Amino acid sequence: MIIEKFRRDNGLAYAPDEVIVGTGGKQIIFNALMSTLEPGDEVIVPAPYWVSYPDITLLAEGRPVVVTCQSEDGFKLRPEALDQAITLKTRWLVLNAPNNPSGATYTRSSISSRATSSRISDSIQRKPCTIRSKPCATRMSPDHAL
Ligand SMILES: Cc1ncc(COP(=O)(O)O)c(C=O)c1O
């Protein structure tokens, strides 16, 4: 039913193992961090951010690494800033787009270039995960938002 809804209303194709049902974005992110973080693991949180993300990280005994995004960049995460933030302890990048509160969005190609120009592709091999929160992004063109 969920897969059919996204196919029909949003033109998005998902497989059953890509669908999670929960009581809200915060609960799903909380579950994900609680079940994957070891004490001291790092979670990169681009700022401005939804207020709960650093506290959820702390509750899971992780360390929030806040990376401030600049207004002159449209509050988008700079690839170089991401590079600097990634360490051997990085486990998650919380990339919220369209961002609440800044409204920043990313094109698919700008996400790809951020991934390839940063060490995120290396760190993906160490199994960090990216949370994509808030399904409102599905109401936008897939070419314009992730
Ligand atoms: C970016 C972002 N993260 C998390 C939340 C919280 O989501 P929920 O109420 O589904 O837990 C919101 C709510 O608007 C949000 O905008």
Domain parsing of the chain, residue ranges: 26-139
Distance CA 107, CA 105 (A): 7
Q: What is the pLDDT averaged over residues 34-40?
A: 96
pLDDT digits (tens, 9 = 90+) for 19-35: 888 998 899 999 999 99
Q: What is the pLDDT of residue 122?
A: 47
Residue 77 Cα to ligand 1 midpoint, Å, equals 19
Give the pLDDT score at 62. 98
Determine whether domain 26-139 maps to CATH 3.40.50.850. Answer: no
pLDDT digits (tens, 9 = 90+) for 70-100: 999 999 999 899 989 999 999 999 988 889 9
Could you tell me the distance, in angstroms and rounded to a whole number, from the CA of residue 138 to the centre of ligand 1?
A: 15
> Which protein residues are within 6 Å of ligand 1, measured from CB?
24-26, 50, 96, 100, 133-134
**What is the torsional sign of CA 71, 44, 129, 15?**
negative
Task: Name the helix (H) or strand (E) containing 65.
Answer: strand 63-68
Residue 105 has pLDDT above 80, yes or no: yes
| Residue 52 Cα: closest atom of ligand 1 | 4
Give me the pLDDT at residue 123, please. 43
pLDDT above 50: residue 4: yes
> How high is the pLDDT of residue 109?
77
Task: Quickly list DSSP for 12-35.
Answer: ----GGG----S-HHHHHHHHHHH
Task: Round to whole Å and give the CA distance between 2 and 68.
Answer: 35
Q: Please give the pLDDT value at position 114.
A: 67
pLDDT tier for residue 118 given thresholds of 50, 70 and 90: low
